[in-house]
């Protein structure tokens, strides 16, 4: 799986490689070279068609990114999730909501993330009013409360933003400083990646992730039993996995040693719109608006 930046770099490399081959083909000084070019010509045509398609698709991706203001919105989303600076985040969200660079869907996404991160802060009411001023419908703004009922602090069993305690905040900050940020648009790592990594290392807490003994894996007392490594695992998410989780599992498999691997499955693959549709439908079924 590649992000948008990596995709663009790959296309540039692909085009440069094709141009180099065509330059070599243009200098035909002998019958042997002409014969070789004739044999390779169908492959050149096939590669040219492939490059044209990839460039066209990438150009359309870039157009959509620019039209929807995704560079600015995506960077702010990453900052909200990965760092703790409520005042700066609130100011940045307000500026983004008042600006003209993003769509109303991106405005709603920003407020939803902010509400999940700072759900007990009074500033959320100000963001609701700004959304209403921008023309969002009441049922769209109602997604804020619906999302908090579904995934707010009171129902989450994990430290989703790594900010519940001083230890978790310090650990997250040190990790970011040591590892650095390779791409500001892909700073965040899903909770599922942490679960999968701990699973493969045999470090999952049995109190949170109970299991049945089978296939030769037996409970053992002591650290050796708790840290028994798992060679292969299947993680199936009822309700749906996300593209970010698929990326994270692919990255985990890429660096895994000893042939260890994780297969990710789910009832669907979610983007933000399909996920919010499910959240809204869940609220309708429970009679909560």
Q: What is the mean pLDDT of each run of 10 residues along the chain (289 residues)?
A: 70 76 62 62 76 86 91 94 93 96 96 94 95 96 95 84 54 46 80 92 85 57 56 94 95 90 96 94 73
pLDDT tens-digit map of 147-204: 999 999 888 878 787 655 544 444 444 444 434 446 788 889 999 999 999 999 888 8
Q: What is the pLDDT of residue 34?
A: 60
The answer to whether 240 touches 212, Cβ cutoff 8 Å, is no
Q: What is the pLDDT of residue 268?
A: 96
Q: What is the pLDDT of residue 130?
A: 97
pTM for the full model?
Answer: 0.77
Task: Give the DSSP per-residue string, 209-246.
Answer: S----BTTB---SHHHHHTPPPSEEEEEETT-EEHHHH
The answer to whether 243 touches 273, Cβ cutoff 8 Å, is no
Ramachandran bin of 69, using left for φ above 0, alpha for ψ from -120 to 50, beta for the remaining angles: left
Q: What is the pLDDT of residue 181?
A: 47
């Amino acid at each position: 799986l590649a992000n948008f930046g990596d995709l663009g770099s790959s296309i540039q490399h692909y085009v440069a490689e094709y141009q180099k081959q065509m330059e070599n083909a243009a200098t035909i000084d002998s019958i042997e070279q002409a014969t070789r070019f004739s044999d390779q010509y169908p492959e050149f045509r096939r590669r040219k068609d492939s490059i044209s398609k990839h460039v066209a698709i990438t150009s359309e991706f870039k157009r959509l990114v620019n039209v929807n203001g995704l560079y600015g919105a995506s960077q702010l989303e990453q900052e909200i999730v990965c760092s703790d600076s409520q005042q700066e985040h609130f100011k940045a969200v307000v500026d983004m909501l008042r600006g003209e660079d993003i769509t109303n869907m991106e405005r709603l996404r920003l407020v939803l993330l902010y509400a999940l991160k700072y759900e007990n802060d009074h500033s959320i009411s100000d963001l609701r009013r700004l959304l209403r001023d921008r023309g969002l419908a009441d049922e769209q703004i109602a997604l804020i409360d619906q999302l908090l009922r579904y995934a707010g602090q009171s129902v989450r069993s994990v430290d989703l933003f790594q900010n519940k305690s001083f230890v978790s905040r310090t650990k997250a900050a040190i990790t970011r400083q040591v590892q650095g940020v390779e791409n500001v648009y892909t700073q965040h790592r899903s909770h599922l990646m942490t679960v999968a990594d701990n699973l493969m290392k045999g470090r999952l807490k049995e109190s949170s992730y109970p299991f049945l003994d089978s296939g030769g894996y037996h409970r053992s007392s002591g650290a050796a039993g708790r840290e028994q490594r798992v060679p292969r695992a299947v993680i199936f998410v009822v309700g749906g996995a996300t593209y970010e989780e698929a990326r994270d599992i692919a990255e985990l498999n890429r660096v895994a040693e000893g042939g260890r691997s994780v297969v990710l499955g789910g009832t669907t693959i979610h983007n933000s719109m399909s996920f919010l549709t499910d959240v809204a439908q869940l609220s309708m079924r429970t009679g909560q608006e």
